[in-house]
Amino acid sequence: MDRAERATELLQEAEEIGVHVEFDCGLILAKMAKGDREKQLAIVEEISKLSREVRRLARQRAIATRAKELLGRPIWMPEYRQQGKLVGADDDGGLVVSIDKAGLRSSKAAAIDLMVLVEEEAEVVASDPDPPSQKPRRWFGLL
């Protein structure tokens, strides 16, 4: 079993005992539910031995989760200097885009290869106490 397979296995074991590992703004969080703290800390120690692999997996999962929330949004593909649409995302962070250029109707893409275009108002939550005019302007959401 290679390191990536072992990291995947450890993350599954961690979930079973109440430890949810996720990527959050560049950090790896180990969210620990109530449970056997000694077992939880032991698995966190094991996970930390594979930190590079765990970071990659957690980052890919975070990309997939966010991309699924943004399906249907317009994208910009710098490589093609072309606008398209985000049409799919798999659980490993792979994206599917549709590009408005002959021959590239549906294509796999990596998050690093595109920008998701987001209207500022679309990101405002109705229960947000701060109106959009008080927030800094953000024109592009990078994935």
| pLDDT per position as a tens digit, 100-140 | 665 667 788 888 889 999 988 755 554 455 554 444 444 44
Q: Residue 15 has what pLDDT?
A: 95
Cβ pair 17, 35 in contact under 8 A: yes
Q: Are strands 107-109 and 115-117 parallel, antiparallel or unpaired?
A: unpaired
Distance (Å, whole) CA 61 – CA 54? 11
Cβ pair 92, 108 in contact under 8 A: no
| pLDDT per position as a tens digit, 25-72 | 999 999 999 999 999 999 999 999 999 999 999 999 999 999 999 999
| pLDDT per position as a tens digit, 61-86 | 999 999 999 999 999 988 888 888 99
Contacts of range 12-15, beta carbons closer than 8 Å, 24 or more positions apart:
13/43, 14/40, 14/43, 14/44, 14/47
Q: Residue 104 has what pLDDT?
A: 63
Structure tokens at 38: 């000694």
Q: Residue 138 has what pLDDT?
A: 46
Q: Residue 120 has what pLDDT?
A: 83
Structure tokens at 115: 């920008």
Domain boundaries, the chain: 3-69, 74-141
Distance (Å, whole) CA 76 – CA 141? 11
CB atoms inside a 10 Å sphere around CB 103 = 6
Average of pLDDT values for 13-26?
95
Q: Residue 108 has what pLDDT?
A: 85
User: Torsions phi, psi of 3, nearest 5?
Assistant: -65, -40
* Measured CA distances, 85 to 16, 95, 97, 118 (Å): 37, 11, 6, 12
Indicate the pTM of the whole model. 0.73
DSSP E strand stretches across 34-122: 74-77, 82-89, 95-99, 107-109, 115-117
Q: Residue 2 has what pLDDT?
A: 92
Q: Residue 73 has what pLDDT?
A: 95
